[in-house]
A and B are shown apart, each in its own frame.
Chain A
Amino acid sequence: MCSKVVSHAANEGSGARRARIASRVASYFAPKTEIPGRVYATTSALTAISVFAAWSLLSYGGLVRPDFLPTPGAVLHAAWVTLADGSLLHHAWSSVTVILSGFILASVLAVPLGIMMGSFKIVEAAVEPITGFVRYLPVSALIPLLILWIGIGIEQKIAVIFLGTFFQQVILIADVSAGVSRDLVDCSYTLGAKRRHVITQVLIPATLPGVMDTLRVTMGWAWTYLVVAELVAANSGLGYMILNSMRGLFTDMIFLGILVIGLLGLITDQVMKALRAWLLPWAART
């Protein structure tokens, strides 16, 4: 800021300064208006600190029983112990394997199917009845069937993640590909493109940003299915760790499991975000 303005501000009366501050604070609450980056960061930090402070107050202050709410120290200690004996990494790796397998399998099938469904009415007519029905089924309702059909091994857990993401992906990606402008397709025809060019050189690249967004969103959903996937007959994984800790009232371990899932979810989300920016620089969000 210009130094003249600063000195002027220092000289003005306290009443005028108060009015200026009041109007600036009021501007933070105007809808759809940018606020300074510093204010944004401070506000976010305050929220995080308040949650942590409330947690510390309730647990260290003895206001809630430690069986119900462990202290931050206890969670840190649990993290230390399980990191030292390698069990935390073992569980985390097991969960990551299940999630990535289910998610990649779903994506590999859903992306082409979704693109075709959004671009070809005939494919839409064929697929819509199934996706329309299955999309509202809770995945947990299918678990008994899954156990009956494919047992209780890792395949069953992967299948839960698959079913939880695949149908959502197909519908979302179909929507993305249906949104590709008709003029863009027509234009490529007038430039000499044949049908196969339109598919490979127009429809597919045009849907990529939307596909990446869909993959990022459904990746988040895949994480939310983790505990459901590890509900039955698991002997490793973060979901298993959480369920198992409940039986012994090890709330510190439950908290640890939840924090690790949240953290891994956050990391995968950031990776997907970075991947989109790197792969599709032309579709950068401003």
Chain B
Amino acid sequence: MASLVIDDVSMRFALRRGGEVTALEHICLEVADREFSVIVGPSGCGKSTLLRLVAGLEQPSAGMIRLDGQPITGPSRDRGMVFQSYTLFPWLTVRRNVEFGLRIAGVSAAERAEIAAHFIEQVGLKGFEDAYPAQLSGGMRQRVALARALANDPKVLLMDEPFGALDSQTRALMQELLLDVWEHNHKTVLFITHDIDEALFLGDRVHVMTARPGRIREEIPVDIPRPRTFDVLTSPAFTALKRSILAHIREEAMRAVEAAAP
């Protein structure tokens, strides 16, 4: 079981020159056990901040986040995270990167090697175990980051625009690979993106977020059957869902423009 509840969370940052800015306002969101949930929103809407709160890297100004009923107070290995920037440890080989969390947790060398080999194979990097991150392409680095997060067997996998820095061809391949990996282990996932296609292709449920202050505007279940392949991108169901999300975002953008006008 791994159900995540974000209960009326707000986040305000104090500004250096005085005053404060509200990044998140009254966010309520639930991710069911084994659900692949996606938050989609424009840049600057605070979606990364929300994910950092779930990771425990920051504390909310108000509200509470619970994992299986337990309030989150700080970072922990039960919430693994894949970042948008490349966060592999450059001094460690692929294998040692994947083993990082296990080594800290005191898992025996033999068991570590076995787990690492399993996940390295699952992300298709067999044969690259002894390579250093500098020798890998961007897509390969993010695959190692995924394997590293999964090797820890977290309850929830948090993904902060993990494919945002990749070129579009690589991104498409990575999305398929992620789904393939997810079909194997069905982790509870909270995934963040600004790409609507990505959100609909990956998610069981898409939460549309608005900008400044960030709120959840709409919650859209994606009833496209799995396993999904790239054909779904052109299916009528997909197009209809995309149209409805675009309408929400457009409305929101219009409101922002009107609000900004004098």
Say whether A associates with B.
yes
A281 to chain B: which residues have CB within 8 Å?
132
Chain A interface residue count, Cβ-Cβ cutoff 8 angstroms = 23
Q: Looking at chain A's contact residues, is the secondary structure mostly helix, strand, loop, or mixed?
A: helix
- Is the CB–CB distance between A192 and B57 below 8 Å? no
- A182-197 residues with Cβ-Cβ distance < 8 A to B are 183-184, 186-194, 197
- Is the CB–CB distance between A191 and B91 below 8 Å? no
Q: Is A202 an interface residue (CB 8 A)?
A: yes
A197 to chain B: which residues have CB within 8 Å?
104
A208 to chain B: which residues have CB within 8 Å?
91
A201 to chain B: which residues have CB within 8 Å?
100, 104
- Is the CB–CB distance between B81 and A282 below 8 Å? no
Known: A190-B77, A191-B148, A192-B104. A181 touches B89 (CB 8 A): no
User: How far apart are B100's CB and chain A's nearest CB, in angstroms?
Assistant: 6
Residue of A187, A194, A284 ringed by the most chain B CB atoms within 10 A: A187
A206 to chain B: which residues have CB within 8 Å?
89-91
B152 to chain A: which residues have CB within 8 Å?
191-192
Known: A183-B83, A190-B55. A205 touches B89 (CB 8 A): yes
B-contact 0/1 string along A167-211, CB 8 Å cutoff: 000000000000001011011111111100100011001101000
- Is the CB–CB distance between A191 and B57 below 8 Å? no
A-contact 0/1 string along B5-26, CB 8 Å cutoff: 0000000000000000000000
- Is the CB–CB distance between B132 and A190 below 8 Å? no
Nearest B residue to A187 via CB reads: B87
Inter-chain CA distance A49–B5, complex, in Å, is 75
B79 to chain A: which residues have CB within 8 Å?
190
Q: Is A283 an interface residue (CB 8 A)?
A: yes
Known: A190-B79, A191-B104. A282 touches B87 (CB 8 A): no
- Is the CB–CB distance between A192 and B90 below 8 Å? no
Q: Is B41 an interface residue (CB 8 A)?
A: no
Known: A183-B83, A282-B132. A190 touches B89 (CB 8 A): no
Q: Is B60 an interface residue (CB 8 A)?
A: no
Nearest A residue to B77 via CB reads: A192
Q: Is A280 an interface residue (CB 8 A)?
A: yes
- Is the CB–CB distance between B83 and A283 below 8 Å? no
Q: Is B109 an interface residue (CB 8 A)?
A: no
- Is the CB–CB distance between B91 and A192 below 8 Å? no
Q: A181-B87, A283-B91 are in contact. List 17 more A-B contacts (CB 8 A).
A: A183-B83, A184-B87, A186-B83, A187-B81, A188-B89, A189-B75, A190-B80, A190-B149, A190-B158, A191-B148, A191-B149, A192-B76, A194-B104, A205-B91, A206-B90, A280-B91, A283-B134
10 A-B residue pairings within 8 Å (CB atoms):
A183-B83, A189-B57, A190-B77, A190-B79, A191-B101, A191-B148, A191-B149, A206-B90, A208-B91, A281-B132
Interface residue ranges, A against B (CB under 8 Å): 181, 183-184, 186-194, 197, 201-202, 205-206, 208, 280-284
